[in-house]
Structure 1
Amino acid sequence: MKETFKVHSKYHDIASQLRSVLLDFEQQGDYLVKGERNSIKTIEISGEVFNIKKFKTPNLFQSLVYRFFRKSKAQRSFEYASKLIELGIKTPHPVAYMENFSLGLKDSYYVSKHLEYDFDFRVLNHNPKWPHRMEILQQMAAFTFQLHEKGIHFLDHSPGNTLIVDQGNTQYDFYLIDLNRMRFETLNLSQRMKNFRRLWLSKTMINIMAPVYAQLYGATEAETHRLMTKHSRKFQRVKNAKKLRRRKRKAS
């Protein structure tokens, strides 16, 4: 079996301990998430806490693709996190990744520094009375503008993938997670507004965020609002239609 194991230069001194933990993943650490697709555990090494994400074992075809044609999700997560930090965008610090191959990719792991955060973007969707919701949404719009200006197209820009740290005085830091789907490219205004669609924005949220983005970009509020609304509503209609079809199939 072939193994790939890479550690960020900042963590070379604990490389052997990290590797041992990954090789014994099932017996090490505590589960944060134990899902059908991916699992996440926390582990403490030398007084620091780390998160280990084990990706779903791919089927035979996918495993061969990851072996010969495409980087694994673990490798992409590590490399994209490193690039985000280089660009000044916050994400839990990348620590290491491991891949195990037989004929194709068998399993893979991504390790990052554990982040103590206050909440994620989902609370803003579900709780219109969340404290300082308007200020957080305004700052989220400015944060997304920074992503786009730096050529970062985060394809999974969804509510659960932005962790938020309250710095006090209504100032917030935004950290991106689940990074394996990302492109680095120049986006026009319509493409930028389309990138908001997965955040599942309400009319009120768009009314708050669109003017901030418009001012930073130099577009009119009307056009920015129109495009953000257009892409958000189209995405929501498609998702809701799929949910309805699934319910009908279950009921029949």
Structure 2
Amino acid sequence: MQELFIHPNFTSLKSELQDCISNFEIKGEYVVKGARNSIKKYKVGDKVINIKSFKSPNLFNSFIYKYIRSSKAKRSFEYAVKLVEKGIKTPLPIAYFEASTFSGLKTSYYISEHVNYNFDFRDLIHKPKYPNRTLILEQFTAFTFKLHENNIDFLDHSPGNTLIVKKSDVDYEFYLIDLNRMRFKSMSFDNRMHNFRRLWLSKTMINIMSKTYSELYQKSTEETHKLMTKYSYEFQKKVNRKKLRKGKK
């Protein structure tokens, strides 16, 4: 059984999307070629699109994604629709595709509009002298605050999952990608600070971002800084311990 679900705004692309999926291995240009998931870029009509191919799930997850929980492709599409409705930028959702048998899901794809971005959040971590770094971090913090105000807990809020578009020297736009892990719930102050933990923030970054967030949330800078630091460093220590254990094996 195969299903291609297309957003109502893009139904005219149906035959071309089906062709891209059917010939995923031989057509298109790789954007990411990973061991688990791959992304390819295609020209379809007057649009440039990305198609993300998810790794075929194991037998257990194959059954889960067929009968119990939505596939990563379907969740990516549905969450993108929700983000757009709430005014949060993400590559526009176009479609998702699932192929399954009676036993479970076999393959799945998520299709979105391609975004030409200038850099991602990782550059702000690895390049302390990045032009306008403080301004970008302040605007990114305001973007994250908007997520929280819209009851969005982006569980993969990590450096590689925010694309940044430079609109001018003083204006930047932020696009979320890799959307299949989200919760939609009221965000407490603790939840909000916990959501920053995967961003791998330095002391300087925390100083800038905690000040901006405290002003937006009307919380003391001291409380905001303390909790953002706590969760950030706990996460970094945890990751470093794992790397150390792996290195000893």
TM-score class normalised by the smaller sequence: over 0.9
Whole-angstrom CA distance in 2 between matches of 1:35 and 1:124 = 24
For residues 29-75 of structure 1, give each alpha carbon's deviation from its aligned partner in whole angstroms, at most 9, with x where no partner exists. Answer: 11111111001101111121100000011000000000000000000
AA matched with 1:237: K
Q: How high is the TM-score relative to the length of structure 1?
A: 0.97
Moved over 4 A (4+): none
AA matched with 2:114: H
For residues 3-51 of structure 1, give each alpha carbon's deviation from its aligned partner in whole angstroms, at most 9, with x where no partner exists. Answer: 1210111111111110121122112211111111001101111121100
Whole-angstrom CA distance in 2 between matches of 1:236 and 1:22 = 38
SS at match of 2:25: helix
Q: How high is the TM-score relative to the length of structure 2?
A: 0.98
Q: Counterpart in 2 of 1:8? A: 7
AA matched with 2:153: H
Whole-angstrom CA distance in 2 between matches of 1:91 and 1:107 = 23
Whole-angstrom CA distance in 1 between matches of 2:228 and 2:20 = 44
Whole-angstrom CA distance in 2 between matches of 1:57 and 1:147 = 31
For residues 139-186 of structure 1, give each alpha carbon's deviation from its aligned partner in whole angstroms, at most 9, with x where no partner exists. Answer: 111110000000010000000000000010321000000000001001
AA matched with 1:158: S
AA matched with 1:72: S
SS at match of 2:128: coil
Whole-angstrom CA distance in 2 between matches of 1:150 and 1:93 = 19
SS at match of 1:179: coil
AA matched with 1:205: M
Q: Counterpart in 1 of 2:203? A: 203
Q: Counterpart in 2 of 1:215? A: 215
Q: Counterpart in 2 of 1:48? A: 47
SS at match of 1:100: strand
Q: Counterpart in 2 of 1:59? A: 58
Q: Counterpart in 1 of 2:24? A: 25
SS at match of 2:134: helix
For residues 64-118 of structure 1, give each alpha carbon's deviation from its aligned partner in whole angstroms, at most 9, with x where no partner exists. Answer: 0000000000000000001000000000000110000012100000000000000
Whole-angstrom CA distance in 1 between matches of 2:82 and 2:7 = 12
AA matched with 1:91: T
Structure 1: state its 5+ residue gaps. none
AA matched with 2:134: M
AA matched with 1:40: I
AA matched with 1:124: L
Q: Counterpart in 1 of 2:74? A: 75
Structure 2: state its 5+ residue gaps. none
SS at match of 2:204: helix
Q: Counterpart in 2 of 1:177? A: 177
Instruction: Give the percent of matched residue pairs that are identical in Structure 1 and Structure 2.
Output: 56
Report how many aligned residue pairs link the two structures: 248
Q: Counterpart in 2 of 1:127? A: 127
**Mapped pair 1:245 → 2:245:** yes
Q: Counterpart in 2 of 1:92? A: 91
